[in-house]
Structure 1
Amino acid sequence: MSLDFGQIRRSEHLPARIAAQMAREITDGHILPGSKLPTEHFLASSFGVSRSVVREAIAQLRNEGLVETRQGVGAFATEMKARQTIRIEQDDLHDRASFRDLFHLRMPLEIEAAGLAARHHADSDLVKLDQCLATMMGAEKWTDQGIVADLLFHRIIAAATGNEYFALFVGFIAERISLAINAARAVAALEEIVEVTIAEHVAIRDAIASRDPQRAREAMKKHLLGAAARLDLVLES
């Protein structure tokens, strides 16, 4: 398979597009620091998307340091002094070299995250991973919800390390990789690529559950190399 990187632009993930638009509103000062964002219902209606898509967009903004969420209250634009933003514009990733560089960064982070998650995860983390897999395997696996579950799977592993910096950086990168998932689905036989991806995620989950760090690292490495290959990217490893 040879991927035309123009396909990434055409297949850009809805939450990423919405997050980019909201980020511009925040950084341009149209949404003031400390102010509350509109409700999920209002945003979903305004953008013409589901509330789950809005939640993914807000999660991305949270990973970028532009938004903080308060349980039971809502989402707020962070104060300027509290912002520790890492931002890669979506347009930068339409270049093959830049996209490959992001995958190179992803490799050591997510491989080590899998190893640490194997050591430190709680039973509740496995429950969350299983919930993601259930969505990825269910009727929604062909839809955007399957992609949302895929991204959440990786964020849960990062959180299971017990190291908040893994959660921050892996979460940020995972949102950018949503472009890759959409692009790969667009150019390959959907049934084949979804089933292969599910099998790779099951192997990662089982390795983490076994509390075998090396097995978990190897399973994650196999998945990441496979994901890169599906985008016709050759990684040094």
Structure 2
Amino acid sequence: MAQGFRQISRNEHLPARIAAQFAQLIHKGTIKPGDKLPTEHSMAQTFGVSRTVVREAIAQLRNEGLVETRQGVGAFVVERQARHIRLGDGGLMDNHAFQDLFQLRVPLEIEAAGLAALNHTEEQMGLLEEALLRMSASDDWNTEGVAADLEFHRIIALATGNDYFDQFISAIADRVGHVIIAAREQIMLDEIKSITIEEHGAIRDAIHARDPIAARQAMRSHLKGSASRVGLQLKFFI
């Protein structure tokens, strides 16, 4: 199973890159529905990463509907008709790719925030709080921090009550991870951490208050800030 995989560069978002390699093999049919993925230990050795990174990669594949996990047994590829949307592996991204990504994120995530404010459950609110706490406590922003950030946005998608938001936001998670890492390379760690927590906290507060207008505004501010940190100036038409 190790054949066809490559070592992961340290400057990449590790879980997303591992997930992308497995997704490519799954879509090609090299790994077929019903096949069991290698063990965490085996994958950690193959990619030269920790088991924590491997768990996050499997979680991303599960979120995207490519695999299912069975407690105490492992992760298995699911049938094609059960899968969610998955974009091809985009590799490294330039400013043009960032611009295209934000043009999609703006209407998608602003609307998701508004719907989440109206439709979230108490359990989802708790998960959102946990993701924010993990972001605050993370010492490794390029792995744990990015994973918690992406999870925060995915929980908002789930809280809309509309499965399509979850599918689309999960599909672009790899690209969003690139943006997060690129932004954090431009600003001092303590500063970017403070800004990120503040922006996400405002979104959390508005959703918790069940205020869809404030939630949309908070998400809009976050996306505008995120874009500016990679050198983009967004134009809003909504």
TM-score between the two structures when normalised by the length of structure 1:
0.86
Residue matched to 1:124: 123
Deviations for 1:27-57, whole angstroms, at most 9, x for unmatched residues? 3433223211122333223322233322332
Is the 2:112–2:156 Cα contact (8 Å) retained in structure 1?
Answer: yes
1:126 and 1:80 map into 2 onto residues whose CA distance is 31
**2:174 corresponds to which residue?**
175
**Using a 3 Å threshold, how does the CA distance of structure 1 residues 14 and 141 change in structure 2: closer, same or farther?**
closer
Contact kept in structure 2, 1:60 and 1:175, CA below 8 Å: no
Letter in 2 for 1:15: P
Partner of 2:139: helix, strand, or coil? Answer: helix
How far apart are 1:74 and its partner, in Å?
Answer: 3.1
Q: Which residue of 2 aligns with 1:40?
A: 40
**1:175 & 1:143 partners in 2: Cα distance?**
13
Structure 1 residue 133: deviation in Å? 1.5
Q: Which runs of 5+ in 1 are unaligned?
A: 1-8
Tell me what 1:207 maps to. 206
Q: Please give the residue correspondences for 1:1-237 in structure 2 after superposition, counting only pairs within 5 Å.
A: 11-65=11-65, 67-72=66-71, 73-80=73-80, 82-83=82-83, 85-91=85-91, 94-140=93-139, 142=141, 144-237=143-236
**TM-score relative to the length of structure 2:** 0.86
SS of the equivalent of 2:34 reads coil
- What code does the residue aligned with 2:56 have? E
Report the Cα distance in structure 1 between the residues aligned to 2:176 and 2:103, rounded to whole angstroms.
12
Q: Which amino acid aligns with 2:201?
A: V
Paired with 2:203 and 2:13, the residues of 1 have a C-alpha distance of 24
TM-superposition CA deviations, 1:137-179 (whole Å, max 9, x none) = 1253645211111111111111111111111111222332101
Cα pair distance change 1:80/1:204, threshold 3 Å: closer
Q: Residues of 1 paired with 2:221 and 2:76: CA distance?
A: 38
What secondary structure is seen at the aligned counterpart in 2 of 1:205? Answer: helix
User: CA distance change for structure 1 residues 42 and 170 in 2, over 3 Å: closer, same or farther?
Assistant: same
* AA matched with 1:50: S
Q: 1:80 to 1:124 in 2, by over 3 A?
A: closer
What value does the CA root-mean-square deviation take over the aligned residues? 2.2
165-174 or 29-38: bigger deviation: 29-38
Q: Deviations over 1:33-87 (max 9, x none)?
A: 321112233322332223332233223334544x221442432223345555431
Taking the aligned partners of 1:236 and 1:56, their CA distance within structure 2 comes to 33
Question: How far apart in 2 are the matches of 1:79 and 1:32?
Answer: 8
Contact 1:13 1:179 in 2 (8 A): yes
Could you tell me how far 1:99 is from its partner in structure 2?
2.0
Is the CA contact (8 Å cut-off) linking 2:36 and 2:74 kept in structure 1? yes
CA 1:101–1:62 in structure 2 vs 1: closer, same or farther (change >3 Å)?
same
Q: Distance in 2 between matches of 1:173 and 1:24?
A: 15
Q: Check 1:14–1:116 CA distance in 2 against 1; reply closer, same or farther (3 A cut).
A: same
**Which one scores higher on RCO, CA 8 angstroms, separation ≥ 6?**
1
Q: Sequence identity of aligned pairs in percent?
A: 55
Give ranges in structure 2 of 5+ residues lacking alignment.
Answer: 1-8
